[in-house]
Structure 1
Amino acid sequence: MSAAFVSGLYRRSLLASTVLASLGSIGLTTPSLAQQSASPNLLPPIQIAPPLERTTDSPPPSHRAVSRSRRAARSASRQTPVGDARVPGATASVIVSPTGIVTPADQLASSVTVVTEKDIQTQQYRSVPDILNTVPGLNVVQAGGPGAQASVFMRGTNANHTKVIVDGIDIGDPGNINGAFDYAHLLAADIQQMEILRGPQSGLYGSDAIGGVISIITKKGEGPPRATASIEAGSFNTFNQTLGLSGSEQNFNYAVNVAHLHAGDVPVTPPELLPPGRKAIGNNYDNKTYSTKLGVDLNENLTVNSVVRYTDATLLFTGDSGFPSFPNAAQSTHAVQQLFNREEAVWSLLDGRVKNYFGVNYTNSRGYDISPGDPVATTTTGTRLKFDWHTVAEIARDNNLIVGAEQQTDRIDTTDLAAQNGNKAGFIELQSAFAKRFFLVANVREDSNDRFGEHGTYRIAPAVILPVTETKLKASYGTGFKAPSLSQLYQNYPAFNFFANPNLKPEESRGYDAGFEQPLFNDRVRFGSTYFHNDITNLIGYNDTFTSLVNVNSATTEGTETFVSAQITERFGIRADYTFTRAVDAGTGLQLLRRPKEKWSVTATWLPVDELTLSATVLRVSNWLDVTRDGSASGIAAPGYTLVNLRGDYAINDQVKVFGRVDNLFDVRYQNPTGFLAPGLGIFGGIRVASDGVQ
């Protein structure tokens, strides 16, 4: 058996531990814009405050006065939290993912958390796992520091039950062993808005959306040419850079971004797992991500859009040998190359009341694993080709109809397997608003899979805003499913007497939630709570002899998500989130692995002066059940942890900003998952420049 195969098997064992953990013991709408479009207009364009008006005998305003007016304009645009905006003062005026149509946040019944570009800058997020750590309803598990495998458990569902979309592209990797997405390599530098949509969403999005959907929309060029650049250094031999150029000219818009993240020495291996006398070697991670978003209005009725995103990342990590295992003396290499592409045409009819979207999506995710002493790499490639069409039609004022169809082909290629599977689907959705007080979204979808045949799903989500108190009451009910991965269907491991099962059926779910949101004091204070419940059946697990996989398990997850946000003054805001989750094997009643029962976070943001922004976050995660690093023991108790993070930035002038952050202020030592140290105290600082003076 080659060392390369063993290295690849170790990487798969990390994913397998996630699999085991997943199994546990067992207003007005805007019909012209839609999520599937590569370039929805989510937020108003950046406005630069004009020079202050003055009389002919008044002296010209000072540079500092103009600077203050610009910063005041920027501050005014972020003062009122709307719905589930993540950071005090952030504005989430429109949301796309719950309906596929750009929709005011207060008209939606869905539980959705929005993270804006401003939030990302204020909190200095560098990767998508960083963003997701404090989002309610989620548990993020990352096997070490940056670049290490990262999984997300949404509302207690499995790690492979969340669909991830970038600019309308389903970026799930068909080459992954159980279809669980690895979030480790998604950088945050070019994100304009990120929406975390919780609850079953297969009625609109198809397979993988049992727990919910994470939708990322990258920056679109607007206005005069704008260049930005940043550089950052700090603990763990960190050295990060970004460069961006964006703008629009007549009928053409463009955005080009380059991001480089490097962490050269991140302690990951717990000392107690090392043989006597052996020193731990820190992880070394390097990620280069290049992205472009282009759009051309060929005429008043026809637009073409293009999105291309390419990531080249390499992680040097300490693998394991033996069983029970022990860390190796030399590092292994895991490299990934990811290409995500969408080409799209948008054809408008009837003065924009009907818009047709035609898209072609292509993704290619290639992973290489090399173990010490063996130059031969184990390579796995997952590709997806998808054609989609949908039409958004305004059938009456505030009433929209979406009809669409898709055809998708997934393929996996490894050293011992080449297989593919196809899926066709059609869906229809109605979005209605009545008297600006009652809102309803309903959709139904039918999938036809080459392997397991027909599968129907649906979702209904009403919301009502009560007069006088302006209380929003909301609820939703939906079904979801997760198709078996190509590896589960076709990939055999005869050396381990383990074989695929081509007769596996989809995992299925039914879920509902109900809650309220209450604004006070002209929406300067908002609080709310939502109860959720999911029943999942046909879960894929091991057979009695552990030689194959079968549909045998079921699970129940339920809990509450509660938040309160307050803009105490014009300069100080605070937000708190609390999540309680109960996730159990429905057959035994035992708690599922890697689902903490409690998680809470508090984030406060303060602007003591116009130029300075300070922020602090406290995150608490309660204890949970886990497996050992090599998976040899299950159901072990993992202690919870509390983290404190600090952020600050100072605008030297309209073009230059300096920033600094402190992660894990009190140097808390914890493992998440068990067997992998999370980063300790980290101190970082840098500088950011913008050509147009908008920071």
Structure 2
Amino acid sequence: MIRKASLPAAVLLALPPMALAQNHLAQLDPILVTPTRTAETVDETLASVTVIDREEIDRLQPKSFTDLLRGRAGLAVTQNGPFGKTASLYSRGTDSGHTLLLVDGVRMGSATLGSPSWQFLPIPEIERVEIVRGPRTSLYGSDAIGGVVQVFTREGDGAPRARAHLGTGSFGTREFGAGISAGQGDTRYSLSGSHFQTDGIDIQENTGDRADDGYDNSSFSGRVSHRLAGGAELFGSFLYSTGETEIDVGTGEFRDWTDYGHHAVRAGIRGPVTDHWRSRLTLAHSRDEAETFYDGAFDSRIDTLRDLVTWQNDVLLGRHLLTLGADYREDRVQSSNDYARTRRDNWGLFAQLQTELGAQDLSASLRQDDNEAFGHETTGQVAWGLEMSEAWRLRAGYGTAFKAPTFNDLYWPGSGNPDLKPERSRTAELGLRFTGEGVRSDVTVFRTDLEDMIDWAPPPGGGRWWIPQNVDEVRIRGIEWETGIRRGDWSAVLAFTHLDHENRNTGQALARRPDDSLRLDLDRSLGRWSLGGTVLAQGRRYNDEAESDPIPGYALLNLRAAYAFSSQWTLRATLDNALDHDYVQVRGFGDDYNEPGRAVFLSLHYQQ
């Protein structure tokens, strides 16, 4: 992994990781930082990864972040209706709370629900997404059982450049945004804002009111870095999203909605201590805020706040790279509900060694967490890679991971169980990667065993009311395959996933995970025109773990086109669900969550 870098290891160590991550991905082998917390190329990594850059985001024209992830290798997404409604991401069949979300390195998500608010991430503020499948708890701590999704906001590069967009479409949808960025000399910066609003659709016909359930999102992001004399660099970033999403819950006499906030901010310093030692200190804060109203009246407020401190040191020892770090996290809850406890902290120490032995690459990582709520937890991971030829690369890995019980699990008024243990997992995988001229293909087989899974069950000593307990054991086996091809004016990306998942206590399948899924993105450039389409196919799944409520599979066709009037102005159009297919992703309280039919969206973009 160090030997085969497109840049020498000493150079990778000397450059800021975020600068490397912004390497404009026009190259076949982009640089990523999420799998190991250090810079490495996609071809070198011993993890199963997907990288989505801004060029691909512009080409696909997704209306939401969940649309960008849906159907990717190893991933399944369900959502309680479109446009800002509650979304769940299942990485390799694990729960939605088993995938860690990072925004510019800042841990996001609700400490009460235990999962991120995937639905609120604003597409216009995103420069790049790195998806890492498989356990990463030994580097990042709790939650990274199924993987890590890291979002990078816009960053400045080169001469000052302005950008803007304006759009409209079906369901009363309208959007606009603008930004400016630059990166010259010792200073780089980016600042942008966007607004998305839609009347939406009625997400449930027999629940709540019969009006359409709208959504709006106002977002702002910024990044800045400045290099000091001697090579050290100050850096900072923020992402702020706020808005309202309407839901169907109450009696139907008045509307139901949630006011939300989704924020991340960080600041720090990084730079060389010696020619072979690079250090980075980061301070960060994140918030997940929700204030809910049923039948037009206030129901509850639950805000979770996180303060984070991370110190990471990367030391180059000949052909070996040693990473040593420590982090501290404090979670706090501010709520109208009377939680038994409203704060807890977690201390973590982690170490990783990456090395090479001829044609083989090795990495090993170990982490110790000390959590105020449940005590100590140790996780580790090992990976091995073999360069079989210039084009073929074999890899294998094994890792343990855990997820801490949420505040709701431990302290929810009347039903919390403070004696819960963390959920734990063991994952083994074997992967094969091919990289050729204009072609990259990656296939991985894996198995994950989870124990002490938290579910509702009667108290051990008997009692009328069920409480959360460590009762479930789960086995997930699967294969994921992703291939990307560029040939002249054509480009295609194919992703396929097959899962075999089972609750070992009941012998039944896990809820809402399709056994099979496929995604095909096909595009062609024709001078000023570009045309493309996406096919999404999902197999049958069950809405419940009793296998009594099957949800049929479905296939969707989305079409897109773009016309460049000049080097600065582009008109884009999409026809989503082009065949007007009627389908269901999930049911709630016996009632389908509706999905939109055929929809048209137009947008005009300016890029200086």
Q: TM-score range by the shorter chain?
A: over 0.9
Kept after mapping to 1: 8 A contact 2:141/2:367: yes
Kept after mapping to 2: 8 A contact 1:200/1:212: yes
Aligned partner of 2:483 in structure 1 is 564
Aligned partner of 1:52 in structure 2 is none
Equivalent of 1:44 in 15, 23, 33: 23
CA distance in 1, matches of 2:164, 2:14: 28
Aligned partner of 2:426 in structure 1 is 510
What do the CA deviations read for 1:221-251 (whole angstroms, capped 9, x no partner)?
A: 1111110000110001110112111002422
* Unmatched segments (≥5 aa) in structure 1: 1-26, 46-76, 81-90, 322-327, 494-498
Q: Does 1:676 align with 2:593?
A: yes
**Local SS of the residue matching 2:124:** coil
Equivalent of 1:361 in 256, 259, 284: 284
Aligned partner of 1:532 in structure 2 is 446
Aligned partner of 1:15 in structure 2 is none
CA distance in 1, matches of 2:10, 2:543: 46
Q: Does 1:658 align with 2:571?
A: yes
Q: Does 1:548 align with 2:467?
A: yes
CA distance in 1, matches of 2:328, 2:495: 39
Aligned partner of 1:485 in structure 2 is 406
Kept after mapping to 2: 8 A contact 1:32/1:392: no
Kept after mapping to 1: 8 A contact 2:22/2:155: no
Q: Does 1:688 align with 2:593?
A: no
The structure whose RCO (Cα within 8 Å, separation 6+) is larger is 1
Q: Does 1:403 align with 2:329?
A: no
Aligned partner of 2:523 in structure 1 is 605
Aligned partner of 1:445 in structure 2 is 367
**Local SS of the residue matching 2:237:** strand
Structure 1 pair 560–407 and aligned structure 2 pair: CA distance change class (3 A):
same
**Local SS of the residue matching 1:120:** helix
**Local SS of the residue matching 1:121:** helix
Aligned partner of 2:46 in structure 1 is 109
Structure 1 pair 341–373 and aligned structure 2 pair: CA distance change class (3 A):
closer
Aligned partner of 2:315 in structure 1 is 393
Tell me which moved more, 180-189 or 206-215: 180-189
Q: Does 1:596 align with 2:514?
A: yes
Amino acid at match of 1:199: G
Structure 1 pair 505–39 and aligned structure 2 pair: CA distance change class (3 A):
same
Kept after mapping to 2: 8 A contact 1:32/1:354: no
CA distance in 1, matches of 2:437, 2:184: 37
CA distance in 2, matches of 1:463, 1:283: 49
**Local SS of the residue matching 1:426:** strand
The 5 Å alignment of 1:234-253 reads 234-253=169-188
What do the CA deviations read for 1:342-366 (whole angstroms, capped 9, x no partner)?
A: 1111131223x31111111111222
Q: CA-atom RMSD, angstroms? A: 2.1
Aligned partner of 1:225 in structure 2 is 160
Amino acid at match of 1:139: A
Q: Does 1:311 align with 2:241?
A: yes
Q: What displacement does 1:528 show? A: 3.6
Kept after mapping to 1: 8 A contact 2:562/2:572: yes
CA distance in 1, matches of 2:350, 2:123: 31
Q: What displacement does 1:147 show? A: 0.7
Q: Does 1:286 align with 2:184?
A: no
The 5 Å alignment of 1:78-89 reads 78=26
Q: What displacement does 1:546 show? A: 4.4
Amino acid at match of 1:291: S
Q: Percent identity?
A: 26
Aligned partner of 1:380 in structure 2 is 302
Kept after mapping to 1: 8 A contact 2:312/2:323: yes
What do the CA deviations read for 1:513-541 (whole angstroms, capped 9, x no partner)?
A: 1021234xx43334342111000000011
CA distance in 2, matches of 1:450, 1:133: 36
CA distance in 2, matches of 1:445, 1:420: 23
Aligned partner of 1:579 in structure 2 is 497
CA distance in 1, matches of 2:90, 2:563: 36
Aligned partner of 2:380 in structure 1 is 458
Q: What displacement does 1:291 show? A: 0.6
Aligned partner of 2:580 in structure 1 is 667
Structure 1 pair 425–36 and aligned structure 2 pair: CA distance change class (3 A):
farther
Amino acid at match of 2:496: Y
**Local SS of the residue matching 1:181:** coil
CA distance in 2, matches of 1:191, 1:455: 34
Structure 1 pair 34–678 and aligned structure 2 pair: CA distance change class (3 A):
farther
Amino acid at match of 2:478: G
Q: What displacement does 1:266 show? A: 2.2
CA distance in 2, matches of 1:33, 1:342: 23
**Local SS of the residue matching 1:487:** helix
Kept after mapping to 1: 8 A contact 2:313/2:324: yes
What do the CA deviations read for 1:128-166 (whole angstroms, capped 9, x no partner)?
A: 211111211111011011110011011111111010001
The 5 Å alignment of 1:100-499 reads 100-176=37-113, 179-270=114-205, 273=206, 280-321=210-251, 328-351=252-275, 353-374=276-297, 376-397=298-319, 399-415=320-336, 416-417=338-339, 419-435=342-358, 437-467=359-389, 470-493=391-414, 499=415
Aligned partner of 2:461 in structure 1 is none
Tell me which moved more, 145-154 or 544-553: 544-553
Amino acid at match of 1:657: T
What do the CA deviations read for 1:562-587 (whole angstroms, capped 9, x no partner)?
A: 233332x3101222221101111012
Q: What displacement does 1:626 show? A: 0.3
Kept after mapping to 1: 8 A contact 2:250/2:294: no
Q: What displacement does 1:684 show? A: 0.5
What do the CA deviations read for 1:320-379 (whole angstroms, capped 9, x no partner)?
A: 44xxxxxx243112011222111111131223x3111111111122211112242x3521
CA distance in 1, matches of 2:69, 2:261: 23
Structure 1 pair 35–596 and aligned structure 2 pair: CA distance change class (3 A):
farther
Kept after mapping to 2: 8 A contact 1:542/1:550: yes
Aligned partner of 1:642 in structure 2 is 555
What do the CA deviations read for 1:447-466 (whole angstroms, capped 9, x no partner)?
A: 01112111100111111121
TM-score if structure 1 supplies the norm length? 0.82
Amino acid at match of 2:430: A
Q: What displacement does 1:467 show? A: 2.5
TM-score if structure 2 supplies the norm length? 0.93
Structure 1 pair 166–267 and aligned structure 2 pair: CA distance change class (3 A):
same
Kept after mapping to 1: 8 A contact 2:17/2:38: no
**Local SS of the residue matching 1:555:** strand
**Local SS of the residue matching 1:204:** helix
Number of positions where the alignment pairs a residue of Structure 1 with one of Structure 2 = 592
Amino acid at match of 1:370: F
* Unmatched segments (≥5 aa) in structure 2: 459-463
Kept after mapping to 2: 8 A contact 1:112/1:196: yes
Kept after mapping to 2: 8 A contact 1:386/1:407: yes
What do the CA deviations read for 1:74-97 (whole angstroms, capped 9, x no partner)?
A: xxx74x7xxxxxxxxxx4521211
Amino acid at match of 2:60: Q
CA distance in 1, matches of 2:171, 2:499: 34
**Local SS of the residue matching 1:480:** strand
Q: What displacement does 1:434 show? A: 4.2
CA distance in 2, matches of 1:587, 1:38: 44
**Local SS of the residue matching 2:159:** coil
Amino acid at match of 2:236: S
Q: In proportion to residue count, which structure has more strand?
A: 2
